[in-house]
């Protein structure tokens, strides 16, 4: 199991055929991320977008495009999105990354019946966080895609996040369904739903819920609470009840601690990286490296 992002980035450098396809990737944020990723040996790339726009941005940045970054020129965002998705679905690229285009256009291309990346599973955001206090990685989901997931959606979100943590070398997914308390309470509907999911189980996952964060993450806190089982204090997958909790939780790590974070969209036929303009350079590199590992197989140990 990888313990931190330094190990993830190093492993990503050893996957020599990783290639990113990015529609409308002519903005400064995207180009800087792609150039840095190429220079660090993480991945080559193909920008599907306006060649003139790429040239203008490079001039503003005072940079040159490395040989490992190709341009397929188009001015049309919809055509760019479809072509970038086609490159990934055909195997000509291994990772899809969102550029400067509307999310609705991007998602429509991903779900295209002919060349899209459908798998029949729900798409969910997985934030992988390095927890310095315990020097380990945990996957948090879903803080970016599903607003108020129902029971079936929670099950699929847990499977998607578990797939990611397994690609990072975990022996098994230890899933905590997060709530404020461990005892089901009718005034907290998520606790009732999580108790039902945990009781029914999910094939291939070790799952407990409802579980508060302290009981999920800290063995001492779990012992004080009288919690037992494999998940208590050792969870490596944390599932939140809705997008509000997931988003606040993951961004709290990013902006209120020194924890390193990377994220991607899981559940499609290939990893999808959706970077925010506010993400710092380290988070962008972490996300791309994470995408390389998830697309390239299990390189954990």
Please check the confidence at residue 299 and state whether its pLDDT lies above 90. no
107 belongs to a structural domain: yes
230 belongs to a structural domain: yes
- CB atoms near residue 25 (< 10 Å): 29
Asked if residue 56 and residue 156 are part of one domain, the reply reads no
Domain with residue 75: its CATH number is: 3.40.50.10950
Asked if residue 173 and residue 109 are part of one domain, the reply reads no
100 belongs to a structural domain: yes
Write out pLDDT tens, residues 12-63. 999 878 999 999 999 998 999 899 999 999 999 999 999 999 999 999 999 9
Mean local confidence (pLDDT), 117-141: 93
pLDDT at 274: 86
247 belongs to a structural domain: yes
Domain count of the fold of the chain? 2
- What b/e readout covers 114-131, taking b as 16+ CB neighbours within 10 angstroms? eebbeeeebbbbbbbbbb
Question: CA–CA separation, 172 vs 206, rounded Å?
Answer: 8
pLDDT at 83: 97
Residue 24 region, left (φ>0) first, then alpha (ψ -120 to 50), else beta?
left
Asked if residue 88 and residue 162 are part of one domain, the reply reads no
301 belongs to a structural domain: no
pLDDT at 282: 84
pLDDT at 300: 37
Residues 6+ apart with CB under 8 A from 14: 299
Q: What percent of the chain has pLDDT over 90?
A: 83
Question: CA–CA separation, 161 vs 164, rounded Å?
Answer: 5
**DSSP one-letter string for 133-180:** TTTEEEEEE-SSS-SS--HHHHHHHHHHHHHHHHHTT-SS-EEEEE-S
Among residues 5, 12, 10, the alpha carbon closest in space to that of 271 is found at: 12
Asked if residue 95 and residue 49 are part of one domain, the reply reads yes
CA atoms within 13 A on the CB side of 110: 28
Asked if residue 151 and residue 44 are part of one domain, the reply reads no
Asked if residue 278 and residue 247 are part of one domain, the reply reads no
Q: In which domain, by residue range, is 107 found?
A: 5-118+268-296
262 belongs to a structural domain: no
Cis peptide, bond prior to residue 142, ω within 30 of zero: yes
Asked if residue 83 and residue 144 are part of one domain, the reply reads no
Asked if residue 133 and residue 107 are part of one domain, the reply reads no
Asked if residue 236 and residue 131 are part of one domain, the reply reads yes
Mean local confidence (pLDDT), 92-107: 93
Mean local confidence (pLDDT), 196-211: 97
Asked if residue 282 and residue 210 are part of one domain, the reply reads no
39 belongs to a structural domain: yes
Cis peptide, bond prior to residue 210, ω within 30 of zero: yes
Asked if residue 226 and residue 155 are part of one domain, the reply reads yes
Please check the confidence at residue 301 and state whether its pLDDT lies above 80. no
Please check the confidence at residue 298 and state whether its pLDDT lies above 50. no
Q: List Cα–Cα distances, 223 to 104, 200, 214, 230, 272, in angstroms.
A: 46, 24, 10, 12, 38
Asked if residue 252 and residue 279 are part of one domain, the reply reads no
Question: CA–CA separation, 138 vs 216, rounded Å?
Answer: 11
Mean local confidence (pLDDT), 286-297: 88
Please check the confidence at residue 198 and state whether its pLDDT lies above 70. yes
66 belongs to a structural domain: yes
């Amino acid at each position: 199991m990888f313990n931190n992002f330094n190990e993830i980035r190093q492993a990503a450098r050893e996957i020599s055929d990783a290639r990113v396809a990015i529609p409308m990737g002519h903005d400064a944020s995207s180009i800087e991320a792609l150039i840095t990723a190429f220079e660090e040996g993480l991945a080559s790339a193909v920008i599907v977008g306006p060649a003139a726009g790429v040239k203008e941005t490079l001039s503003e940045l005072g940079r040159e495009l490395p040989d490992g970054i190709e341009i397929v020129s188009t001015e049309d965002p919809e055509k760019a999105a479809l072509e970038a998705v086609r490159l990934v679905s055909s195997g000509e690229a291994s990772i899809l990354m969102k550029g400067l285009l509307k999310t609705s256009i991007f998602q429509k291309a991903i779900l295209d019946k002919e060349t899209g990346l459908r798998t029949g599973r729900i798409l969910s955001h997985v934030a992988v966080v390095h927890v310095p206090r315990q020097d380990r990685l945990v996957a948090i989901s879903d803080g970016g895609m599903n607003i108020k997931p129902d029971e079936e959606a929670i099950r699929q979100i847990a499977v998607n996040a578990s797939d990611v943590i397994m690609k990072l070398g975990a022996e098994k997914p230890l899933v905590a369904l997060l709530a404020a308390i461990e005892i089901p309470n009718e005034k907290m509907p998520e606790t009732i739903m999580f108790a039902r999911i945990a009781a029914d189980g999910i094939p291939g996952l070790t799952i407990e819920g409802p579980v508060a964060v302290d009981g999920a993450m800290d063995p001492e806190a779990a012992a004080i609470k009288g919690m037992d089982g494999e998940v208590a204090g050792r969870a490596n997958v944390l599932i939140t009840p809705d997008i509000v909790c997931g988003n606040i939780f993951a961004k709290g790590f990013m902006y209120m601690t020194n924890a390193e974070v990377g994220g991607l969209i899981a559940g499609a036929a290939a990893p999808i990286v959706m970077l925010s303009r506010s993400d710092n350079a380290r988070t962008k590199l972490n996300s791309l490296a994470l995408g390389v590992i998830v697309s390239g197989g299990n390189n954990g140990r």
